[in-house]
Amino acid sequence: MIVGWMLEYMELCGKVNFGWRNMKQYEAVIEALKQNGGYATLGQLYQDALKIPDCEWKTKTPFASIRRIVQLRDEIFKIRPGLWALEAEREKVMAIFSEEASEPKAREYTHSFYQGLITEIGNLKGYETFVPAQDKNRPYAQKTLKDVATLSKFYQFTYPEVLRQAVTIDVTWFNERHFAASFFEIEHSTDIHRSLLKFVELQDFRAEFFIVADIHRKAEFEDKISLAAFSPIKSFVKFVDYDNIANLHTKMSEVVLAEKALL
């Protein structure tokens, strides 16, 4: 068993080349990163690297192998927890994901990336998912958000004046009865106050409400949610940071892929 693990470890590092494989496992991971625009969560790599042609994953623990690859290979670096990128794309990627990124295009990419992750998490959990019409053509990896969301129309579950606010929320998950189960607003650089006002309009529904942002904005969220105007929703609006979204996407991908393999 130890010898087998060592051989696998050596292949991950590129030290050996088993003759029956046309592509090494680490090359498949690098190719998956390229196909995602140079960066990806572990969850995306779990889904995509195992589909790369001409690479066999003769291991009972492919997810662990992928985790070791991103940690060991010099061609890959960690942007933040759960999010990895190609060293060759460092400048482009860090212009998007660094906290100092100020270009409007970079802010838009970050916003739509986490919008896509949240939409995919909803899909993996069995919800129907919706993103607003104005966001449908925004990029997510090498796709657009409309390629990820499962709904093209928002379910009309309440009065029109309330729906006018609900339909603009960044991501909505719907349950099997076509009622909204969870609402997510991604606040990369915009005002958290405006998102909380949308949630106030939806306070009568038994749904979950989330503000998603970089961890450094948590104090700002806590200040805003403590205002008297938001006291009706204070107890059921949660703050979730980007790293936790990426990690949840990874865990959900691993569980769903493992279930498919077993069944």
Mean pLDDT on 31-36: 94
Q: Is 75 exposed, middle or buried (CB count within 10 Å of its CB: 0-12, 13-18, 19+)?
A: middle
pLDDT of 120 over the 70 cut: yes
pLDDT of 31 over the 80 cut: yes
Mean pLDDT computed over every residue of the chain: 88
**232: pLDDT confidence band, cut at 50, 70 and 90?**
very high
Say what the pLDDT of residue 12 is. Answer: 55
**One-letter amino acid for residue 116 of the chain:** G
| More reliable by pLDDT, 55 or 121 | 121
Tens digit of pLDDT for each residue in 121-173? 999 999 999 999 999 999 887 789 999 999 999 999 999 999 999 999 999 99
Mean pLDDT on 197-218: 95
Q: What percent of the chain has pLDDT over 70?
A: 89
Say what the pLDDT of residue 102 is. Answer: 59
pLDDT of 205 over the 70 cut: yes
pTM score, two decimals?
A: 0.84
| More reliable by pLDDT, 107 or 226 | 226
CB 245, CB 111: distance < 8 Å: no
Distance from C-alpha of 183 to C-alpha of 174, rounded to nearest angstrom: 9
Q: What percent of the chain has pLDDT over 90?
A: 69
CA distances from 78 to 38, 85, 189, 253 (A): 12, 6, 23, 19
Mean pLDDT on 195-208: 95
Q: Which domains does the chain have, with CATH numbers?
A: 2-97 (1.10.10.10), 104-247 (no CATH)
Tens digit of pLDDT for each residue in 58-105? 888 899 999 999 999 999 999 888 889 999 999 988 888 876 655 677
Eight-state DSSP code of residue 114:
H
Mean pLDDT on 191-211: 95
**One-letter amino acid for residue 92 of the chain:** K
pLDDT of 252 over the 90 cut: yes
